[in-house]
Amino acid sequence: MTALVVGAARSGIALAKHLRRVGQDVRLFDRKPAAELRDALAQMPSGVDVRLGDEAGLLDGIEVVYASPGVPWDSQLLNDARARGVAISSEIDLFLKLCPGSVVGITGTNGKTTTTALTGAVLAAGDRPVLVGGNIGDTVLDRLDEITPRHWVVLELSSFQLESVERPRLHVGVILNITPDHLDRHHTFEKYVDLKARAIEFAEPDDYAVLNGRDEICRGLATRTRGQVVWFDQHQPMPPMPLPGRHNMENALAAAAVGRIARLSDESINTAIRSFKGVEHRLELVGEWAGVRWYNDSKATNPDAGRVALSAFPGAPVVLIAGGYGSGFELDEWVAEVLANTEAVVLIGASADLLEDALRAHPKVVRAASLEEAVVTAAGFSRQGGVVLLSPAYKSFDMFKDYEDRGNQFKALVRRRFAA
């Protein structure tokens, strides 16, 4: 049997390794040239037929195609495979079919990464082993051998991943919130909602659908599951969440609700949440210099995430660095939050023209040609007791490899300026 793996990123590497380990022939394809894939190709197991750039004859002799999350589900290549009767799968699809543990799948437009990491920390307070992965950055297929039926497996699941799973039955499906995002790929908000709903639609009566009753779209999904519905916003007692912002309290409530499903004590749940340090690139405190706190919120890749971040600093004078790649976003609520909660705004990236016009009522909006210039400019605007916040509200692909690259560059620039 020959399998085609499309995409040479982390998911593709994990797939190639697993498939070779179980004796399958593997063909791997990526559109990028070899020079851009040097690190990835160096990790490929022996015997993989690597093809780059040209799709000619790519599907010949292929019995199954495994698509990486970055490959649109309606791409021409996948449609051509379907027309030939070739099965389409993905790393997370294969993992869910093979995983012997109890899977907690966490999705939503915002807060997935923090809630996934926090849920892992809460479950680790119990006596069962815990593995955390998925869209949070760690592949899981290459860790399948270490998972037992006693494991809790906590997965962050994006809409791209949920789309790629044939029947995503999760023992606990968590949906945090749903606002418009990724419409350039999914085309309509209704389709995006349908993909998020897949986290609970395949549940059986002994499974759980953990939903946010404060979110109107989430409330409407309760009728689309056979699982036991748990409204995490109603969880008591309120956990002592150490990170700023109401949204982080909602993340903590969701994690606490999963902890209760796992039959952990409230004391154990609260201790785990109280000691949680947060995740990189999500309202991450870079440091404080001259009475000014600098925060890296590079994972805010849409206006709703940016709006939520701004609400985390009530009363503090905030200098915001925003802008990046993307289109079709609804900006009204983000603009209102920026006008109400920032002293100055520094705009970068492809959306700077649009945002400058949207913020024309703001008294202090400036442009920066680079992130380095933005840091210098923001430092000049900041004052003691204030906050400088990188929360772009847009994706990173216009200037950076990904949001992690953007956040890491920001932290390096800030530390170089102040910590030397």
* pLDDT for res 102: 98
Listed residue (47, 38, 40) closest to 11, CA to CA: 40
* pLDDT for res 234: 94
169 with 243, same domain? yes
* pLDDT for res 70: 81
Q: What ranges in 152-220 are assigned the alpha helix state H?
A: 159-163, 183-186, 189-201, 216-220
pLDDT digits (tens, 9 = 90+) for 381-419: 999 999 999 999 999 999 999 999 999 999 999 999 997
Domain boundary among 245, 274, 303: 274
Crossing angle, helix 112-123 and helix 266-274, to 10 degrees? 130
3 state DSSP class of 316: coil
291 with 394, same domain? yes
Domain boundary among 58, 89, 120: 89
* pLDDT for res 328: 81
50 with 177, same domain? no
End-to-end distance of the chain based on CA atoms, in angstroms? 57
239 with 100, same domain? yes
**Structural domain that includes position 38:** 2-89
* pLDDT for res 409: 98
CA distance 267 to 342: 38
What CATH number does residue 198 fall under?
3.40.1190.10
Give strand ranges (E) for 111-192. Answer: 130-134, 152-156, 172-175
Q: Exposure of 53 by Cβ count < 10 A (0-12 exposed, 13-18 middle, 19+ buried)?
A: exposed
* pLDDT for res 410: 98
pLDDT digits (tens, 9 = 90+) for 144-191: 999 999 999 999 999 889 999 999 999 999 999 998 766 566 668 889
181 with 322, same domain? no
321 with 254, same domain? no
Residues of the chain with pLDDT under 50: none
Q: What is the pTM of this model?
A: 0.78
State how far Cα 40 lies from the chain centre: 22
Strands 318-322 and 387-390: parallel
6 with 147, same domain? no
* pLDDT for res 142: 86
- 278 DSSP 8-state letter: -
Question: Is residue 190 in some structural domain?
Answer: yes
* pLDDT for res 278: 84
What CATH number does residue 83 fall under?
3.40.50.720
Question: Is residue 279 in some structural domain?
Answer: no
* pLDDT for res 176: 96
* pLDDT for res 55: 83
| Number of domains observed in the structure of the chain | 3
* pLDDT for res 185: 67
Domain boundary among 253, 274, 295: 274
* pLDDT for res 314: 87
265 with 318, same domain? no
291 with 380, same domain? yes
320 with 410, same domain? yes
At which residue do the structure tokens 């309760």 appear? 222
